[in-house]
Amino acid sequence: MRYRKYLISRLDIFIALLLIAAVLYIGYRINVGLHYKWNWKIIPQYLFRYDAENEKWVANLLMQGLFTTIRLSAWGTVLAMFIGTVMGLCRISQSLFKRLVSGTYVELMRNIPPLVLIFIFYFFVSEQFLPVLGVEEFVRNSSWPVQWVMAVLFAPPTLLNEFLSATVTLAVFEGAYITEIVRAGIQSVEKGQWEAACAMGLSKWQQMRYVVLPQAFGRVLPPLTGQFISTIKDSAIVSVISIQELTFQGMELISATYLTFEIWITVALLYLMLTLPCSMIVGRIETYVNRFLSVGLHDFVRRG
Amino acid sequence: MLLIIALMGCFSGCSNEPTPTAPQAESALERVMKQGVLRVGMSTFVPWAMKDKTGRLIGFEIDVATRLAQDMGVNVEFVPTKWAGIIPALITGKFDIIIGGMGILPNRNLKVNFSIPYDYTGMSIVAHKKLAEGFNSLEDFNKPGVSLAARLGSTAVTAARRFMPDATLSLFDDESQAYQELLNGRVYGVVGSAPTPGFQALKYPDKLFLPLSDTFTREPIGFALRKGDVDTLNFVDSWIRVVEEEGWLKERKRYWFDTRLWEPMIQ
């Protein structure tokens, strides 16, 4: 990689000035046109507050929401990876039945608005399915350390059922995109590789496991990381079923304090704090993978 | 998008009528006593229920629910829920009871059981000084071309449709969005439960005013419970009678609605 020195032209300066002017003008309009009383002072206390009783700093509403968002996205991605891998393999399987099942799944998920899916899942699916498992009862009646671990990894016992339904919903939705990533990754491995592996006398499963999948894995890593970022962003949708993640906590705070602009801006910055490092990691992974494989992977199945 | 939420919120309860005793064979009361926890569905709504600076829930409804759990000898757990989906959430067993300033409406009562009223609220309007200049009656607002905002799924919507059918009504998920719309000058007024509209008019005296001197409806407020659960219903009815006679409800109501002593707790 050779870096070219960038020269800042007059046009760049002009455009930058225009942008700054636009931002300032919007701020001015909000101040003057709406008579909006900015009150940034009280925002930090909603991120962290000093607990006088225990003499330490603790996370407050917005940070708690951020942690929930992270948990939700992390578990959602793990589960979606599992679903996506299984379904992705089904998409290219020999059996027509498997292809039909996985095809139906992908088309259904990709053609129904996530909001509608979430409602359907939450009110119909999770209600029939989760109480049967009895997770909540189990956690409620379990010992203190178990409860604590569950609370750190998932959610406090009170909100566990909701959290699990939201995670499953998110995973099933994101899984459709991961399915396509996996399928495209496997199909991008040249036919010659299969043939060579076959010539070595490997069985179908061994060809897949030792030759094709390792190569496919390297190629799908960048889009998978991109999908993780999408999952973080999509997790905001579950605020509609009252999961207490960042967006929901933000809305609740607005209801209580009426600080519409400050809180939405803060929430946006918190999301950026999560997703921007991920984006940089994607860039890193891409250069790394390309160096080893010298194959540019096409950006498949991206959503707008 | 909000419309979708609205429709889902309204219809997810109506379209698929679960059998009244589907989620649990035992009464909610038995379950609460057994688990030692009362789960209360509520939604943020100043000054009924809101989060203070430390993230604790405070407000009139919170006091009521806490006292109810205390008198049962169990812990209380609050489940903050979006207003539009709060009834389906109760029916599907996400919590045992709604204590959230829910107005008793016949069409709601078809889906849930209501306790006797423990509180009364009335609707009032806060209007935009420039747009609604000189408006001082409901008739002034009841004109085509006049736009009003209200919170989705609230009794404010029912009241606005009944008294001002000719005005256009835009609905928002949270009341704060409705007030933001008003401050932006996109609607003539916001219909909401007293005392919030009055508070808003005090907060922005140069932009907003109260066109009506008093509330224009009087609505009973009750606890909502799942259908077919007579025992729990009887318990909460009796409990309301007891605390009513004590004067405790009145005292709490005065603190949250007529004083602003709690303001420093949230700002």
pLDDT digits (tens, 9 = 90+) for B217-231: 999 999 999 999 999
Question: Smallest Cβ distance to A257: which of B1, B8, B266?
Answer: B266
Q: Per-residue confidence at A131, pLDDT binned at 50, 70, 90?
A: low
Tell me, yes or no, if B179 comes closer than 8 A to chain A by beta carbon: yes
**Chain B residues near residue A48 by CB distance under 8 angstroms:** none
- Residue A130: the pLDDT is 67
- The CB-based long-range contact list for A146-154 (8 Å cut-off, 24+ gap) reads A153/A71, A154/A71, A154/A75
Place of tokens 């990894």: A153
Q: Do B267 and A42 touch (CB under 8 A)?
A: yes
**Chain B residues near residue A248 by CB distance under 8 angstroms:** 80
pLDDT at B193 over 70: yes
pLDDT at B22 over 90: no
pLDDT at A279 over 90: no
Average pLDDT over residues A77-106: 94
Q: Do B207 and A35 touch (CB under 8 A)?
A: yes
pLDDT cut 70: percent of chain A above it: 88
pLDDT digits (tens, 9 = 90+) for B71-119: 999 999 998 888 888 998 898 888 999 998 899 989 899 999 999 999 9
* Average pLDDT, rounded, for chain A: 84
Distance CA B52, CA B267 (A): 8
Task: Phi first, then psi: give them for residue B27, nearest 5 degrees.
Answer: -75, 155
pLDDT at A300 over 70: no
Three-class DSSP labels, A147-198: HHHHHHHCCCHHHHHHHHHHHHHHHHHHHHHHHHHHHHHHHCCCHHHHHHHH
pLDDT at A227 over 50: yes
Q: Is the peptide bond before B195 cis (omega within 30 degrees of 0)?
A: yes
**Chain B residues near residue A119 by CB distance under 8 angstroms:** 8, 12
Average pLDDT over residues B179-201: 89
Question: Is the Cβ–Cβ distance between B54 and A49 less than 8 Å?
Answer: yes
Shortest alpha-carbon distance between residue B54 and chain A (Å): 7
Which of A204-208, B68-72, B263-267 is predicted least confidently? B263-267
pLDDT at B13 over 50: no
Shortest alpha-carbon distance between residue B245 and chain A (Å): 31
Average pLDDT over residues B183-196: 89
Q: Which of A255, A264, A267 is best to mutate for the B interface (most B CBs within 10 A)?
A: A255
Q: Do B51 and A45 touch (CB under 8 A)?
A: no
* Of B23 and A145, more confident: A145
Q: Per-residue confidence at A297, pLDDT binned at 50, 70, 90?
A: very low
- Interface residues of chain A, partner chain B, Cβ below 8 Å: 34-36, 42, 45-46, 49, 51, 60-61, 64, 113, 115-116, 119, 123-124, 127, 131, 140, 158-159, 161-162, 239-242, 244, 248, 251-258, 260
Tell me, yes or no, if B7 comes closer than 8 A to chain A by beta carbon: no
Average pLDDT over residues B166-180: 88
For B77, name the nearest residue in chain A, comparing CA atoms only: A158
Q: Which residues pair with A36 in a beta bridge?
A: none
**Chain B residues near residue A162 by CB distance under 8 angstroms:** 94
Q: Do A240 and B88 touch (CB under 8 A)?
A: no
Q: Do A127 and B1 touch (CB under 8 A)?
A: no
pLDDT at A298 over 50: no
Q: Do A35 and B80 touch (CB under 8 A)?
A: no
Three-class DSSP labels, chain A: CCCCCCCCCHHHHHHHHHHHHHHHHHHHHHHHHCCCCCCHHHCHHHHEEEECCCCEEEECHHHHHHHHHHHHHHHHHHHHHHHHHHHHHHHCCCCHHHHHHHHHHHHHHHCCCHHHHHHHHHHHHHHHHHHHHCHHHHHHCCCHHHHHHHHHHCCCHHHHHHHHHHHHHHHHHHHHHHHHHHHHHHHCCCHHHHHHHHHCCCCHHHHHHHHHHHHHHHHHHHHHHHHHHHHHHHHHHHHHHCCCCHHHHHHHHHHHHCCHHHHHHHHHHHHHHHHHHHHHHHHHHHHHHHHHHCCCCCCCCCCC
Shortest alpha-carbon distance between residue A156 and chain B (Å): 11
- Residue B21: the pLDDT is 43
- Residue A152: the pLDDT is 80
Q: Do A115 and B1 touch (CB under 8 A)?
A: yes
Q: How far is CA A109 from CA A8, A174, A248, in A?
A: 45, 8, 24
pLDDT at A290 over 50: yes
- Residue A292: the pLDDT is 64
